[in-house]
Amino acid sequence: SKYEYVKSFEVEDKLMPSTWIVVRIDGRHFHQFSDEHEFEKPNDKQALELMNSCAEALLEEFKDVVFAYGVSDEYSFLFKKTSEFYQRRASKIVSILVSFFSSLYVMKWKTFFPLKELKTIPCFDARAICYPSTKIVRDYFSWRQVDCHINNQYNTCFWMLIKSGKTKREAQDILKGTQTPEKNEILFQLGINYNELPAMFRKGSCVFRDKVEEIVKYNQDGDPVKRLRTKVGTVHRDIIGDTFWREHPEILSD
């Protein structure tokens, strides 16, 4: 039609070829959302596992996503460098991932919160970022995990102080300017060994495809017949050091 010229106002938004694409989604107003749904403080196991379950389903659907890292109300998804998903169009990639994740979050809610009604509409923002080298991709995930650690340590201290009877104001004043050793000391005083807290809280969650041995059937002798299968799974590991990446070289391989 004579109106079709309006399509020419759409701008090409291709992401640079041969770079790693990270899509980070983050819950919108999740401070409020967590309150409304009475998430446990500072970490709600169910809420985090809901996020992880959505991320796993997302990796099942989108084969070009090779790794994901989640913490708090956010998740980062890594596309392999050579991905041609939607010809690398930024708004396609960003919108499809965040839409898919949002739908899943609502669909899976009842599984993780069988007794809680979904009262308000969960919503996530999203952005795409390109990284030119694996080194910088590693630094990206280190950034998120350091953030996880710092926030989690602070929040754990804070809520333990609250539980111990302090006001929010008092807890803030006590923590102001403290470093890691002092925070550990505070936790120790309150009877908490930080390193014994669940790894999911301390390390966040890594989702990726892994080779797993699977029992396909049992033969006549009753012996299991096994096969290697690729399966999406979640672990809570340090991703700042080299160990994890050395154990999973396929993630960052070209």
For its own copies (CB under 8 A), the number of binding residues is 58
161 binds its own copies (CB under 8 A): no
| Radius of gyration, CA atoms only, the chain | 21
From the list 9-17, 35-43, 127-135, 172-180, the region that binds ligand DGT by CB under 6 A is: 35-43
49 binds ligand DGT (CB under 6 A): no
Q: Which does 115 bind (CB under 5 to 8 A by kind): Mg ion, ligand DGT, its own copies, none?
A: none
Question: Which residue's CB is nearer to its own copies, number 105 or number 158?
Answer: 105
- Cβ atoms of 34 and 40 within 8 Å: the answer is no
What type of residue is 100? F
22 binds ligand DGT (CB under 6 A): no
Nearest approach, Cβ of 220 to ligand DGT (angstroms)? Answer: 48
CA–CA distance, 171 with 17 (Å, rounded to integer) = 48
Helices and strands, counts by H and E, the chain: 9, 6
From the list 22-30, 62-70, 100-108, 176-184, the region that binds Mg ion by CB under 5 A is: 22-30
61 binds its own copies (CB under 8 A): yes
Of 75, 56, 66, which Cα lies nearest the Cα of 234? 56
Question: Which residue's CB is nearer to its own copies, number 96 or number 252?
Answer: 96
Alpha helix segments (H runs only) across 85-165: 90-112, 134-163
Write the binding mask 14 to 53 for its own copies: x where contact by CB under 8 A, - elsewhere.
Answer: x-xxxx-----x--x-------------------------
Of 27, 23, 21, 77, which Cα lies nearest the Cα of 50? 27
51 binds ligand DGT (CB under 6 A): no
From the list 20-28, 153-161, 207-215, 246-254, the region that binds Mg ion by CB under 5 A is: 20-28
Instruction: List Cβ neighbours of 170 (8 Å cut-off, separation of 6 or more).
Output: 161
- Cβ atoms of 180 and 197 within 8 Å: the answer is no
